[in-house]
Amino acid sequence: MNDSQLILTIVAAVGLGTPLIFATVGEIITERAGILNLGVQGTMLVGAVAGFWATFQSGSLTLGIVASLLAGAAFSLIHAFASITLRVSQIVSGLALTIFGTGLASFLGKAGSDPLVGEPARDQFDSIISGGIADWPIIGPLVFGHDILVYVAWIAAGAASYYLFRTRMGLSLRAVGEDPASAESAGVNVAWVRYVHVMAGGALAGLGGAYYPLALVPTWQDNPIGAAGWIAIALVILASWRPWRALFAAYLFGAAARIQFTLQTLGEPWSNIPATILAMIPFVLAIIAMIALTSGKRARFLGAPAALGIPYFREQR
Amino acid sequence: MSDSTETLTVDLRDIHKQFYGVKANEGVNFQLRPGEVHALLGENGAGKSTLCSILAGLYRPDAGEMIIEGEPVVFKSPKDALAAGIGMVYQHFRLVPNLTVAENLALGHHNLGVMVDQKDLQRDATQLGERYGLPVDPTARIWQLSVGEQQRVEILKLLYRDAKVLILDEPTAVLTPQESQSLFSTMRQLTDEGRSVIFVSHKLHEVKQVSDRVSVMRQGQMVGEIDTADAEPKDLARMMVGRDLELPTRAEDDSTGQPMLVVRDLRVPGDRGLESVKGVSFEVRSGEVVGVAGVSGNGQRELAYGLVGLRRPTSGSVTLDGVDVTEENVLEHIRQGLAYIPQNRLGMGLSPGLTTEDNLGLKAFREAPYSKGRQLVPAAFKSRGKDLIEQYDIRGVVPGLPIRLLSGGNLQKALLAREVEMQPKILIARSPTRGLDVGATEAVRNSILRERSRGTGVLLMSEDLDELLALSDRLIVLYEGEIVGELTARMATAERLGLLMAGQRDEVAP
């Protein structure tokens, strides 16, 4: 029963959705502070190469995770400085970050006499429980059979939700994203809140990136993440800036990405659909979801932070 | 009452502040005693708001000393000022619209724990509101509240932090006269508790009524400070303006001309799709000024949009000099002789990036001398613009530079010049003197009255009751999108208008 196509597809969707959860929750936190970071793709790649390299050098997955978090935070600091302190266009800065990060990760993967490209990971994330309850019918593979980061992603989404809506810092964060002038008059340090959350978002994006070469395909290849960073930005809107919804949105896209393999195994006539068409499914889904959610009157209730993307000058008159 | 040896609550010395080369504060001294209401009086642009924003930590002074309770302080941000017990209610409220009242109270409050308990917060907010006569629903989101309620939240926010000094920047500008009275009694309660209030205003009668002392500012400088009891309104006015005022006078003339603008059962949708103008009927005749009074947000904007063709009415009709223009676009309204002074003069009225000359030709450019066939004649813009700039006394124009560099008063003169030059049959003006100094206000009001004597029908929408009373032949009052009263100039008083603006329909027949 646990080998049925449905169970296999769901399990695979959870795996493919996990890095998207990290990146999406990270971008939600960043955008809740009013900063649009289009550099998610670049940040994920930098986190991926840093995480893979650290594990490759040390043999420790923990160090790999720490390295990806730090690299993501440090890399997004560039965007924080440009958009908060220098107040440049966040679109331009974010896109530059993606271009830079893509090139940097690719370069680091190929640099040196003994490049990372093609090297297998020295360790990888595997199911934390094998046998026992993980073999129970249906709930075994669905609930207990995953690697540790799947559960960390669940905790991350729940914790982010609690943080946003139940803590004082979360209140400051939401206020800064909605109306920085009001937040500042209420005694909130707008720049500080923005810096912290851009970097926190970057750290989560870095972690999401590292999941690819350390769990999904345990080797280094050029751009191991595909277009996951861009999907994450779309998922933020689909999740309407709420971390819990990001969980479901990410799994939905994980399933869409997995569908092509499932259909291949189903035989005629499904296997006749060209793979290139199937590979488009997640992106088409993203476009449809965007249009359905953001068109007309519904957009108002989506919950986009009102000050998203707008630089804040205190002494503006 | 006041003991000269006691420690001053606030002592500002020789404060300087410039914005892009404009001196907003120039060597200002200001002293606040404990337990007093201290009025800060001055025209728009005199530097009152700047001084208050410095005291509230929002702006940093370029030079000068700030001494609070005898201790020199430097405020890096509003957070520091709040910590020192100083808070401000800004003219444009600083509340986060999507958060609840309780959340806005808690925001940035450092005595609360890491976790936020909504129930506790809501209870505190309710108790505080009851204590100070500022009732408000703590679970409501800010955008659901009226302007008056939002102001109460702003004051509660400061009291929740136990602010010792409350700065209220033009708090009555958004209130009806009755709401203002209730605010004044709250202010009294605050000073009875030993708190101090800085009351910023340019309305002499309010200053006279509520304050203990008054400081007057003019052009960035402090020009005087006196006990309110010794202050004559006339003297205060002279200190404020620097000369005696000559108010524009309306020639009494009851002969009415042809109806120029006829509005029948007009309904116009608001931004959220709900109806904002709910079946309004009135007419404006040639040679009369009809004032539209109302607290802002009661359908004035939508009414203006519906009348000038910017928003299609859902039903009803608008007739300009006998021509039904209800379904027509803006251009057709202009062709029928409609001129419009929008509230947002830079942006909707004038194009900020174009030169003054180009802006002056922006409505008539389809015709000679600005156009020949389909071609523009740039030389005509220059020469015609030069004439208008002289004729209408528009100052500060540098040829070739964008119009946005002009001061508010000169922008308004330019806008009026363009609209009046069309020789309109109907002039619709929204808050035409808002933010202008007294000189420019006089010029604008006089041109409106000149239009009236030329036979134009004028619809004047304003939140300034004094302006409405001074210029209008008739007044209509808008409340929640409906006309709740119509008064002739002779019948109208600020009190009656205030009651109508608060939604109390007129019981006395006009």
Q: How far apart are CA B485 and CA A191, in angstroms?
A: 50
Q: Look at residue A137 and tell me if it is in a domain.
A: yes
Cβ atoms within 10 Å, residue B288: 24
Residue A288: give the domain boundaries. 5-301
Vertex B406 angle, CA B404 and B412, to 5°: 95
Q: Look at residue A246 and tell me if it is in a domain.
A: yes
3-state secondary structure of B279: strand
- Residue to mutate among B92, B107, B143, with most A CBs inside 10 A, is B107
| Phi then psi dihedrals of residue B30, to 5 deg | -150, 130
The DSSP output letter for B403 is G
Residue B448: give the domain boundaries. 259-350+425-501
pLDDT, tens digit (0-9, with 9 covering 90-100), for B138-183:
999 998 888 888 999 999 999 999 999 999 998 987 787 788 899 9
Pairing label, strands B213-218, B221-227: antiparallel
pLDDT, tens digit (0-9, with 9 covering 90-100), for B105-116:
999 886 666 777
Nearest to B483 by CA among B284, B286, B270, B300: B300
Tell me what pLDDT residue B46 has.
82
Q: How far apart are CA A34 and CA A30, in angstroms?
A: 7
CATH number at residue A60: 1.10.3470
Poorest-pLDDT segment among B17-26, B90-99, B119-128, B288-297 = B17-26
Nearest to B160 by CA among B199, B120, B215: B120
CATH number at residue B483: 3.40.50.300
Q: Look at residue A111 and tell me if it is in a domain.
A: yes
Given a contact cutoff of 8 angstroms between Cβ atoms, the answer to whether A306 and A31 are in contact is no
Tell how far CA A259 is from the center of its chain: 20
Q: Look at residue A308 and tell me if it is in a domain.
A: no
Residue B75 at interface with chain A, using a CB cutoff of 8 Å: no
Residue B346 at interface with chain A, using a CB cutoff of 8 Å: no
Q: Got the DSSP string for A151-215?
A: HHHHHHHHHHHHHHHHBHHHHHHHHHHH-HHHHHHTT--HHHHHHHHHHHHHHHHHHHHHHIIII
Q: How far apart are CA A211 and CA A126, in angstroms?
A: 11
Q: Look at residue B449 and tell me if it is in a domain.
A: yes
**Contact across the interface for B58 and A188, Cβ inside 8 Å:** no
Q: Look at residue B288 and tell me if it is in a domain.
A: yes
**Chain A residues near residue B78 by CB distance under 8 angstroms:** 184-187
Indicate the pTM of the whole model.
0.76
The answer to whether the peptide bond before residue A243 is cis (omega within 30 degrees of 0) is: no
Q: What is the mean pLDDT of residues A221-239?
A: 93
Residue B144 at interface with chain A, using a CB cutoff of 8 Å: no
- Among the partner-chain residues B88, B96, B114, the one whose CB lies closest to the CB of A183 is B96
Tell me what pLDDT residue B151 has.
93
Q: How many CB pairs under 8 A join A and B?
A: 90
Q: How far apart are CA B141 and CA B97, in angstroms?
A: 7
Structural domain count of chain B: 1
Nearest to A250 by CA among A203, A285, A207, A301: A285
Cβ atoms within 10 Å, residue B185: 12
**Contact across the interface for A186 and B99, Cβ inside 8 Å:** no
Taking the CA atoms of residue A131, residue A132, residue A135 and residue A137 in that order, the dihedral angle to the nearest 10 degrees is 180
pLDDT, tens digit (0-9, with 9 covering 90-100), for B323-359:
999 999 999 999 999 999 998 888 888 998 899 999 9
Given a contact cutoff of 8 angstroms between Cβ atoms, the answer to whether B40 and B195 are in contact is no
How distant is the Cα of B136 from the closest Cα of chain A, in angstroms?
19
Q: Look at residue A313 and tell me if it is in a domain.
A: no
**Chain A residues near residue B88 by CB distance under 8 angstroms:** 185
How distant is the Cα of B27 from the closest Cα of chain A, in angstroms?
20
Q: Look at residue A307 and tell me if it is in a domain.
A: no
Structural domain count of chain A: 1
Q: Which residue has the higher pLDDT, A290 or B218?
A: B218
How distant is the Cα of B114 from the closest Cα of chain A, in angstroms?
5
Given a contact cutoff of 8 angstroms between Cβ atoms, the answer to whether B269 and B311 are in contact is yes
Q: How far apart are CA B58 and CA B60, in angstroms?
A: 7
**Residues pairing with B96 in the sheet:** none
Alpha helices in chain A (DSSP H): 5-32, 40-58, 61-80, 90-110, 139, 148-166, 168-178, 180-185, 190-211, 228-238, 243-265, 275-279, 281-294
